[in-house]
Structure 1
Amino acid sequence: MTDRYTQTELTRIRRIAQYANYDRPTVHAIVDAGWICQVAFAVGEQAHCIPTAHWRIGDTLYIHGSNGSRLLKALAQGASACVCIAHLDGLVLARSAFNHTMNYRSAMIYGQFRVVEDEAEKWRSFEVFMDKIEPGRRHEVRMPDDSEFAATTVLALDIEQAVAKIRQGPPEDDAADMDIPVWAGVWPIETRFGTPVADAQPEAVI
């Protein structure tokens, strides 16, 4: 395994190719920083794009859901998928309307999901998912019982065709526009946790 994903026809960036990044750690960091991925797939002639929670173990991306989910049923049957994870880092305000843009980090992953049939892998994936939500919480809550375990499908996508696309920095104005008397720069956007709101139910008596 190398530190870079091999560029393929699917992952070759054509628009602003200098933003492309095939470094494995960079792709992994973008995946790990997100809570929701967008999964695009087609059933017959109808295209779908459905958001769902995701997590990663090594070079494998996991998603889960009800056994009856249309998304999971289609992917379990071998539908080709494109997974996109994106983070908006700032609005880039230029001196011309044409040169306005955004700073962002995104990753696209292509491939086919497989159903996680091995119970040990499935259970391990649940543990990692809970640790992503809050490290150590799985030791405090009730983990899935047998019926919940059986009612949940976990799908895995081995990350083999992937690319990141990243835009950072200030606006790129044309020389002819530099004297326009308007503010230009980056308006940063941050995602962060707020103050936790406790459940209204009374605390359990221990």
Structure 2
Amino acid sequence: MLALHDAAQDARADTAGALVVVDEAYGEFSHRPSLLPLIEGRPRLVLSRTMSKAFGAAGLRLGYLAADPAVVDAVQLVRLPYHLSAVTQATALAALEHTDTLLGYVEALKAERDRLVGELRTIGCEVTESDANFVQFGRFEDAHAAWQGLLDRGVLVRDNGVPGWLRVTAGTPAENDAFLDAVRELMKETSA
């Protein structure tokens, strides 16, 4: 997430000659505050959010934006007339009725994500900072071989094509324990 909370960044957003769109898809997972309070008085600042991550609703393909009313009106002019099915709308409304419960799951996932970061570093991996529900870890001489080694141990992570790095999504404590055990075994095997 872009951090616009200092004067220089605020000035950049204020003087941009075009829209400044900030994607807060993982906003609920972030340790940083949302930029939503900065929208007022900034007609070119637009925030986008999704229900896919925090609400576990990737299948809905539903998101929203927060912006100056003039920007919202302009978007309304170009949107498709029937872009949300009745099922999507009903599901989204049901999810919103259970916001507290769903955001409670987010807090649990954040704690597990942070635990993964700490444990991976203890094991000897490098880990990039994360404001999402996943972490990137490595540096492996051969990331694909490391991916295969974890898969052979019953753990599926993502080889996202970044040389030397793999990505794991935070899961339940039991899933994360199985992942960490597999990484420990892999690291012992590759260091021997």
Same fold (TM over 0.5): no
Q: Provide the TM-score with structure 1 as the length reference.
A: 0.20
* TM-score computed with the length of structure 2 as normaliser: 0.21
Richer in strand (by share): 1
Tell me: higher relative CO, structure 1 or 2? Use CA pairs within 8 A at least 6 residues apart: 1
Q: Is the helix fraction higher in 1 or 2? A: 2
